Structure 1
Amino acid sequence: MAGVRKRGEQIRQFILDNVEHNSKDIVNVTCRAFDISRQGVNKHMQRLVEQKSILIKGATKNRHYYLHPLVEWVEIFSLDKTISEDIVWRVHIAPLLGELPGNVIDIWHFGVTEMFNNAIDHSSGQHATVTLKKTATSSEVVIYDNGEGIFKKIQRAMGLYDERHSVLELAKGKLTTDPANHSGEGIFFSSRMFDNFTIFSGNVYFSHTHGEVEDWILEQQHPNTGTIVVMRLSNNTSRTAKQVFDSFTSGDDYGFTKTVVPVRLTQYGDDKLVSRSQAKRLLLRIDKFKTVLFDFNGVESIGQSFADELFRVFPSQHPNMELIPTHANEAVMQMIKRARVHDTA
């Protein structure tokens, strides 16, 4: 009986771990994973429903399963001098998250306070709406402010061509429109601490998923006013804030010395990366770092002028910097090697 009971627990945990990504097909997915009948899986589904661990929506043919929220909360805060990010965290968010592992709480503490402080100091909005949803496996916090919009503000402050350029600069890190009071590190590190981190604003959005390729950008069909930040994290992740900091810092002062630049954010649609102006756009502000990883994932080819500016001209002007191409295909690497050969000629 103990063996049967243990297998049942494994099946139910599998369902909880996978239902969010397979809300319609979770029964079939579980059948295949454990080689059991639909009838057997449905018994486990029913037990999870009775335990209020999952929800069922829709009729038989259109049935979807979802994790049952353990906590659902929403609050609107006035963005005036009466509110601060530490109060939002300590009084509202932390008690709702409850008894999660210390490393998980540390990540939430950093992300929530950094993002809410951005709303206070940078949004020029009147209010911010914060929502929290916690399930048996993960938690999600959404912060929405009705301000100017983060990408529009960056575009205006830096004199950029459009909002897409703002996303590229945000992905690099060390970006702030208020350098006297902010380091520009909050969004960069928050985006790499969470399982999923997304900013919706205006016509584009910025997204980073832990363990996948670097940040990416997409134009939206329905533009957002203000700024929406969505943070999602497993309740039992082993990731720590220190691990993330250590990946991009060095020295006794933990200086933010390393970054990853997603090269494909420089592309527009089917445009090819061929010009020096495109390379210079990519190189903007990277002299703030000692080590830069250029992520070429999704880039099929680059032109000679683009490669020359990136890997010969700029390095010759910044000899103490380390520029490292990653995820580059054979065609891209050939152009990079050609530029570097000319540099040594």
Structure 2
Amino acid sequence: MADLLRPGDLAKALQLSPARIRQLAYEGRIPFLTTPGGHRRYDLDEVRAALLATHTQAWRGAFPLEGLREDQLWRDLRPSLDPISEQGRGIAAYAVTEMVNNAIDHSAGTSVTVEARRATNHITITVQDDGVGVFRTVRDGFGLPDYFAAVAELSKGKRTTDRERHSGEGIFFTSKAVDVFELAANGIVWVLDNDVADQSLGMSRVDVGTRVRLRIDSGTERELNDVFRAFSHEHDFVRSQPTIKLFEIGTEFVSRSEAKRLLEGMEEFTEITLDFHGVLSVGQGFVDETFRVWARAHPGVTLSPVNANPAVLYMIERGLPKPDRT
């Protein structure tokens, strides 16, 4: 069973007020369990599904993966999204075709179901296959220790287990283009909320196949090309923003091995932003391996730490290579 949340934690995850959560529970619109002490606890997956069910279904289709063309599926789906801004339609076109193509090429499944639902000011598109699960595919393909490490690989961008057919950019750019991106598979769920610039990692009931949910504001003015430009230079994908807090279920990073895993494959980029949000402390070995050893071995790559607390920032600055004195 997925971890159960307190009302305050659920409110934060859904961007709703605690009062609104209490109202929804009282009205019977979201499911909950009651502890022996009389406190309500919530399963995030079940609550999201209950809320999604209140949206109007605009389109739904189930397809065998063999012989499926993602462009034709998109043409069938597209009219059901109106009214939506041109920018939103462009983002949806990219996201849907990329995610369906991933199911075709990577899932090792037999079918995919695509559904679009409309709320007052946004649309939610769900793409779900019956394959082995994206985190298992990435874990096995890169020889990683667990599914959480697979999430970390996906967050880097430009990482793929099939270089002959894929650039590794699809999930990365889709996660940056939509308003909320949710990727669930193999018992865990990774959520990126671009509206509040935050992300989370938790447990999920999806243990067969992969489920992708894409939320797009119907009136969005975000240009897909602006998303590409934010991570590109001269039309090549050269930037990446791996989020360090995803690499372990914890807030401390002390070892050289953690640093090596963080930077595995990152030599392909020229600019890397290391986000330390939520990290409480780092060790000298981690800092030295990252900012001296790896940086010296890859002089063409710029490492930029951001969102570090004072203690972490002190350790980073202390560990940076000292300028030569002549």
TM-score by length of 2: 0.83
Q: Is the 8 A contact 1:215 1:262 kept in 2?
A: no
Deviations 1:307-344 (A, max 9, x none): 00111111111111110000001111111111114475
Label 1:113 to 1:326 Cα distance change in 2 as closer, same or farther (>3 A): same
- Looking at structure 1, the residues matched to 271 and 64 of structure 2 have their Cα atoms a distance apart, in angstroms, of 40
Mapped pair 1:151 → 2:138: no
- Secondary structure class of the residue paired with 1:307: helix
Label 1:24 to 1:155 Cα distance change in 2 as closer, same or farther (>3 A): closer
The aligned counterpart of 1:33 is none
- Secondary structure class of the residue paired with 2:154: helix
Deviations 1:58-104 (A, max 9, x none): 9xx527597964543322111111x210011002x101112421111
Partner of residue 64 from structure 2, selected from 70, 74, 78: 78
Q: Is the 8 A contact 1:312 1:343 kept in 2?
A: no
Mapped pair 1:231 → 2:196: no
Task: Report 1:262-277 matches (<5 A).
Answer: 262-269=243-250, 272-277=252-257
- The amino acid of 2:190's aligned partner reads F
Partner of residue 191 from structure 2, selected from 207, 219, 242: 207
- Looking at structure 2, the residues matched to 98 and 318 of structure 1 have their Cα atoms a distance apart, in angstroms, of 48
Q: Is the 8 A contact 1:24 1:62 kept in 2?
A: no
Deviations 1:166-218 (A, max 9, x none): 10000000011110111010100000111100110003222211043454322
Task: Report 1:276-291 matches (<5 A).
Answer: 276-291=256-271
Q: Is the 8 A contact 2:180 2:195 kept in 1?
A: no
- Looking at structure 2, the residues matched to 324 and 287 of structure 1 have their Cα atoms a distance apart, in angstroms, of 14
Label 1:264 to 1:95 Cα distance change in 2 as closer, same or farther (>3 A): same
Q: Is the 8 A contact 1:160 1:166 kept in 2?
A: yes
- Looking at structure 2, the residues matched to 134 and 261 of structure 1 have their Cα atoms a distance apart, in angstroms, of 32
- Looking at structure 1, the residues matched to 318 and 279 of structure 2 have their Cα atoms a distance apart, in angstroms, of 17
- Secondary structure class of the residue paired with 1:316: helix
Deviations 1:119-176 (A, max 9, x none): 0111011111111101221000001100011110111111111111110000000011
The aligned counterpart of 1:90 is 75
C-alpha deviation, 1:279, in angstroms:
0.4
Label 1:101 to 1:153 Cα distance change in 2 as closer, same or farther (>3 A): same
Partner of residue 240 from structure 2, selected from 250, 259, 264: 259
Partner of residue 109 from structure 2, selected from 125, 138, 141: 125
Aligned residues: 291
Mapped pair 1:192 → 2:172: no
Partner of residue 321 from structure 1, selected from 301, 309, 324: 301
The aligned counterpart of 1:247 is 230
**Which ranges in structure 1 are unaligned for 5 or more consecutive residues?**
1-19, 30-56
Mapped pair 1:62 → 2:45: no
The aligned counterpart of 1:40 is none
- Secondary structure class of the residue paired with 2:139: helix
- Looking at structure 2, the residues matched to 344 and 226 of structure 1 have their Cα atoms a distance apart, in angstroms, of 54
- Secondary structure class of the residue paired with 2:186: strand
Output the aligned Cα RMSD.
2.5
Task: Report 1:108-123 matches (<5 A).
Answer: 108-123=92-107
Deviations 1:282-301 (A, max 9, x none): 01111110000000000001
- Looking at structure 2, the residues matched to 343 and 224 of structure 1 have their Cα atoms a distance apart, in angstroms, of 51
- Looking at structure 2, the residues matched to 340 and 78 of structure 1 have their Cα atoms a distance apart, in angstroms, of 53
The aligned counterpart of 1:312 is 292
Q: Is the 8 A contact 1:312 1:342 kept in 2?
A: no
C-alpha deviation, 1:266, in angstroms:
1.8
- The amino acid of 1:284's aligned partner reads E
Q: Is the 8 A contact 2:149 2:248 kept in 1?
A: no
- Looking at structure 2, the residues matched to 157 and 341 of structure 1 have their Cα atoms a distance apart, in angstroms, of 35
- Looking at structure 1, the residues matched to 190 and 306 of structure 2 have their Cα atoms a distance apart, in angstroms, of 21
Label 1:214 to 1:281 Cα distance change in 2 as closer, same or farther (>3 A): farther
- Secondary structure class of the residue paired with 1:229: strand
